[in-house]
Amino acid sequence: MTQKRIQESSMVKAEGERSEDLAVLWLKAEPAVRAFVAATVWDAHHAEDVLQEVATVVAKNYDSYDASRPFPPWCLGIARLKVLEYFRANSRDRTTLSNGTLLALESAAQNIAEDHLVARRAALQACVRKLRGRQRQVIEMKYLLEVSIEEIAKRLATSVNAIGVTLHRARTNLRECVKLTLAETAE
């Protein structure tokens, strides 16, 4: 393999990892951003448009995000700016919110998101404890020990595809278990 192909391969891999990191962070921040936008932009269609604009700006500016700081507040700051842009563009609407009100709503959305994350994290921990056999072993290696899929396959003397299937099934089981656990606690 030439040096140029090695560099291109490394760049593609790094880009994929960056995209995966962004996706994970956005999944955690999105409920708070959605709640904030819905609380400030009362038209559901416009709120969805503003949310999409926020997601686009977050994705475009992810390289400038300081990973030493919490991600949801960064996204909420972008959302506040997008909401202000929305109000400026639609100034003929009779109702607008002050910057102070927007900051208070942003803070409330962040607190709701943090409470939601605590509940989800507790449910996930309980569900991981319920996993058995290979699924639990692979999940622990991948997410607790941060072992690559290739290395897990090597350690367990199986194929990368088999590990991928096991991870997929384990994630599906965990997703369903968390959903059920949260629904039970909400009742």
User: Exposure pattern of 166-176 as b/e (b: 16+ CB <10 Å)?
Assistant: bbeebeebbee
Query: Which pLDDT tens digit goes with each residue over 17-34?
Result: 677 888 889 988 888 888
Residues 90 and 66 sit within 8 Å (Cβ to Cβ): no
Residue 153, pLDDT > 80, answer yes
Query: Which pLDDT tens digit goes with each residue over 65-116?
Result: 998 888 988 999 999 899 888 888 876 544 455 666 666 666 666 666 666 6
Query: Which pLDDT tens digit goes with each residue over 38-76?
Result: 888 878 889 999 999 999 999 999 999 998 888 988 999
Confidence of residue 166 (pLDDT cuts 50, 70, 90): very high
What the block records as the tokens of 59 is 């994705």
Q: How far is CA 137 from CA 31, 117, 158, 166, 176, in A?
A: 30, 24, 13, 10, 19
